Every structure is written in structure tokens, then in C-alpha cells.
Amino acid sequence: MPDSTIKYIELHALQQQTKEQLIKKVSELQEQHKKLAEENIDLYKSQLENEKVIEDYETRFEMLFRMHAQTEIIKEDYKRIVDLKLGNTYNINATWIDKIVFVLKAAKRPLRSKEIIEVLLKNDPMFRTLTDPQKGLSAHLTAALKYGRIIGTKEKGQNGYVFSVPESL
């Protein structure tokens, strides 16, 4: 049935009811409206409370996440300090020769100057400031060779030297 027919039937049904029946019907509808409005208000209040609880949890989670990150940073700092004191880590304040020897010992294999440069670029902020890292490293490699801190061996068919730490170190 079209909407206009339904409206006509509803209108006709309402016109056939008595005044008391209509008043009773209006009262019932008002009561239902009031109950629905109260439920809506309760739901809205509940939603606001839930949003506050969620915000509270998000704030706590964020705080715990920050605390965890700070703890991890502190833990890493302590590990670095212990390793530094035990001589197990790269020390940026060491001499260049000590740094080269440390890199070779840590690698546990002979390295070319190019590989040493890669390691120093990753670990040493001072080394990154050099305009020509190859030239900067070359002088220190020569000094380390001169003092016997490292050994340079020439491989057949290869340019340059392969550097290693003497067995006595």
C-alpha cells in the first residue's frame, strides 16, 4: 500500500476513537518518549564515561611505553659502560690506532682498509667529519704498521693490503 493510503487509514482510525482513548494514547506515547529519552541520556552518559576510561587507559599505556623506552635506554647505557670498562666496546675517545686495532680484533678476521672505513663511519662521529676518509685512515694505518700494532699483508692480484692483528695482541 502506498504511504498516502496508510496515512488515510491511520487518520480514519484515530477519528473513530473517543476523546478519552486519544488522550490515553497520547499519554502512553508521551510516557514511551520519556522512557526512551531517559535511556538515551543514560546511554550518552555511559558513552562519555567509557570514553574517559579509554582516554585514561591510553594515557597510562603511553606513560608505561615511555617508561619502558627510558628503561631500555638506561639498560643499554649500563651495558655500554660495563663493556667500555671491560674493554669490550668501541671507545670513541681512544687513539686512532687503538680504534683500528679494536675494529680488527672485533672482526676476528683480516680486513681491507675499505672495510675498516665502513666500521669507523658507523661508530665514530669524528671519523665522519673527515673530508677524505681513505686519506685520514691511511696515515693511522701506516703508524699502526710502524709500531707493530697491526700487520699488513699484500695479496696476490689485489690492490692494497689486508690488515690483521698480530697473534701476540
Architecture of domain 96-164: Orthogonal Bundle (1.10)
Q: Which of 4-13, 18-27, 56-65 has the highest mean pLDDT?
A: 56-65
Domain boundaries, the chain: 3-83, 96-164
pLDDT tens profile 126-145: 888 888 888 888 989 999 98
- H or E element that contains 4: helix 3-16
Reported as a pLDDT band with limits 50, 70 and 90, residue 27 is confident
Q: Compute the distance between CA of residue 110 and CA of residue 151 in angstroms, rounded to an integer.
A: 9
The DSSP secondary-structure symbol of 161 reads E
Helices (H) and strands (E) in the chain, counts: 6, 3
Q: Which three cell numbers stand for residue 131?
A: 673530508
Cell numbers for 61: 599505556
pLDDT tens figures, 58-108: 999 999 999 999 998 888 877 766 665 555 666 777 888 888 888 888 888
